[in-house]
Each structure stands twice: as structure tokens, then as C-alpha cells.
Chain A
Amino acid sequence: MIHIGKETKSIILSKSISMENSKNTYRSLVKIGKKANKSKNFTKCESLLIGNNSNSNTFPIIKSENIKSTIEHEASSIYIKDEQLFFLLQRGINEDKALSMIINGFCKNILNMLPLEFSIEAQELLSLSFNLHEK
């Protein structure tokens, strides 16, 4: 994200899912130029970890040439709690479905921004990739 003009604003929202032995790395550059007075950037990285061996890293790079601007960075990792899964199972939902419901919930505020057809496709894809894994 490069800010050139003054009073420009940007938001970066990154979500990642790592399962089993997968590793996920987020790298970014937020640059605010000399003339970009009063610019704002907000970055949020959330990673969902499934299983004990999954791994997620965040390497944000921030370059600011302007003292009047603000840059925020927020990173968090979430894992699926046993209790969440237990709750859904106790309400009669099977395990595959419960898992994909929790994962879809995690991705929801990104999927919602996509065009309808693509968002449906992305949801299908998510549940498909997790079902394949189970078999």
C-alpha cells in the first residue's frame, strides 16, 4: 500500500487458515510518501490455526516519510476451540459441517465483500477442501 496524496486512507484486512503441517506467511509494505499529509492506514491480520503443527507468521514493513500520518497494525491468531465444536455437535450437526461452519464464520467479513457468485463459490471451495482432508 503506497500513499502518495494527502489525506488518503487505506485498510488492509488479511485472513489466513493453516491446517495440519501448513505454514502461512504474510508480508506487506505500507509506505507513506513525503506529501501524504494526514494519511491513515489500518492493517489487520488474523490467522486461524487448526491442529498443533500449523504455523502462521506476519512480517509487516512500514515506511513512513511523513510525521503527520498514522499507521496501525493489528495481528491475532485464533484457533478452533474444542468447546465450539462440541457445542455444534451437541446440537446435532455432524463434524465436517460444524468445522466448515466455524471456518466460514471466520472468513465471513471477507466473503461478504465479494460479488455474490464468487462468494458462494468460495464458500463451496472451503467446505470442499476440508471434506477432502477428512477422507
Chain B
Amino acid sequence: MCILNIKNLHVNIKKKKIIKNLNLKIKIGEIHAIMGPNGSGKSSLSLTIAGHKKYKIYKGSIFLKKKNINKYSIDQRAKNGLFVSLQNNIEIPGLNNQNFLYKSFNSIRNYQKKKKINLIKFKKLIKKEMHKLDMSNDFLKRSVNEGFSGGEKKKNDILQILLLKPKLIILDEIDSGLDIDTLKKISIIIKNLKNKKRSFIIITHYQKILNYINPKFIHIFYNGNIIKTSDKKILKKIEEKGYGWFKK
């Protein structure tokens, strides 16, 4: 069964075509990677799936678990198990990190008709997850992403995944700005998170994270569409010849 099914998708920003006739199917429990040159529409795709208002679908549809989500609002999509980690992490001054995580956690639980968890239990839960990422406790007292280093922001995203347990996770350049040790740790966590019920889309420019994670398919994105789908073998060719080789 497919968790994500994109059919003949066309997307515009201010009348400029960004995604052209895209088809993509992702089955439950698969990891897909998307690679491609800058400005080819990779991030636009992730924002379109998330439901950003700027990206207008004028043709085609997106199905999340058999439900057509074209008209769903951003938070509705999130509550249905979609998680998008953005390329540039947003800072919200003054908003306490723990408060934010708690609200987000219970809001999604509420939608799934699960019982609300109180703050004391939540604190225990979050400390357990934070331990996996080697985060210190003062992290909870800080404002969301304000004054965080690049690595800390990415870790914060992973922490949100660990807490919210989404079904489809889109990671947009999760590996940029990470040192080798942190990259390895995050890759291992992603690998552990992968199970029969959870799928990933990993958008990246570098092979390193893909070597750790082993995606089943690698899609090459160019000019708003997938021009080639292959497996890990293609990585070597990209390294040697760059993306120019695909354009022919």
C-alpha cells in the first residue's frame, strides 16, 4: 500500500511553473532519496506536500494514505502523520521549546483520539528521547531554535520526530552543517526509526548520509520533474560527472 501517491502534479508560484507533471509513489516502509541541482524544485516539492500557501496546485493530486489531501490545511496534514523538516530552521523568539513540543505533541494525540499526557509524564518521556541525541536539559528552557547552532537546530527536528512519531517524514537537507559524528548519530537514529509503518523522503546533496541510511530508490530531480530513478549505483556516476550528465 502506498503512503504517498502523487499523480500528474503541476505546481505554480506566482504563475511560474515549478513542478511539471510529477508522478511519485512511496510505499509504506520505504526510504526514498531525492537529489538534484540547486533550484530544481526539490524543496518546492516538500513544501507543496506540506501545504504551504505559496505553492498552488493547478493540476494533479496528492494522496496520503488513500486520502486526497489537496484541500487539507497544513495542520490537518500534519495530524494525518506528515512531518516536514525544513531546510532553513525557523526561529521563534520567546516561545519556550518545551512548551512548543508539549502543545504540538498533545495536539496530534488529541486528533488521533489518544489520551492527553500530563506535563510530568511528558517531561520524563522527552528526557528519554533527548538522551538518545546527547542533548542537555537546558535545551528545554531555551526559545525555539533561537540562538541554536546549525547542528542543534537539526537535532531539535529529530527530537520532534522521535516525539510525534509521524508516518511519512520528509527531511530537507538534514545533513547540511553537521559534523561527521553528529551525522552518523542522526543517521543511526533515522535507520532505527525506519520500520514497516514509517516511510522517509530524504532530500540531499551529499552521498554520505545515503551511505549510512541505504535508500531503496534515488530520484534525480531536474527542472521540476524526476528525470531518472535508480538505486545506490547511481551515486558514483553523480560524483564523477555531476548532474549535467542527466540533462542529455
Contact = CB atoms under 8 A, between A and B. Distances in A.
Contacts of A83: 86, 88, 90
Most buried by B among A83, A88, A107: A88
Given A89-B78, A94-B75, A95-B75, A109 B103 contact: no
Interface stretch (B7-15, B91-99, B232-240): B91-99
Contact of A92 (B78, B86, B91, B93): B78
A109 B96 CA distance: 12
Contact of A105 (B84, B104, B143): B143
Contact of B79 (A81, A92, A106): A92
A90 B50 contact: yes
Contact of B103 (A89, A90, A97, A107): A97
A120 to B, nearest CB: 14
B183 interface: no
A102 B78 contact: no
Interface residues of B, number: 32
A91 interface: yes
Interface in A42-91: 81-84, 86-91
Interface in A99-119: 101-102, 104-109
A128 interface: no
Interface in B101-158: 103-104, 107-108, 111, 143
Chain A interface mostly: helix
A9 B180 CA distance: 49
A93 interface: yes
A105 B95 contact: yes
23 contacts: A83-B90, A84-B91, A86-B74, A86-B90, A87-B86, A87-B90, A88-B92, A88-B100, A89-B74, A90-B84, A91-B100, A91-B160, A93-B103, A93-B104, A94-B107, A97-B107, A101-B92, A102-B95, A104-B95, A105-B94, A108-B94, A108-B95, A109-B94
Q: Which 7 A-B pairs have the closest CB atoms?
A: A105-B94, A105-B95, A89-B74, A108-B94, A91-B104, A92-B78, A92-B108
Given A89-B75, A108-B94, 20 more contacts: A82-B53, A83-B90, A84-B90, A86-B50, A86-B90, A87-B90, A88-B92, A88-B100, A89-B74, A90-B84, A90-B86, A91-B104, A91-B107, A91-B164, A92-B75, A93-B75, A93-B104, A97-B103, A104-B95, A105-B143
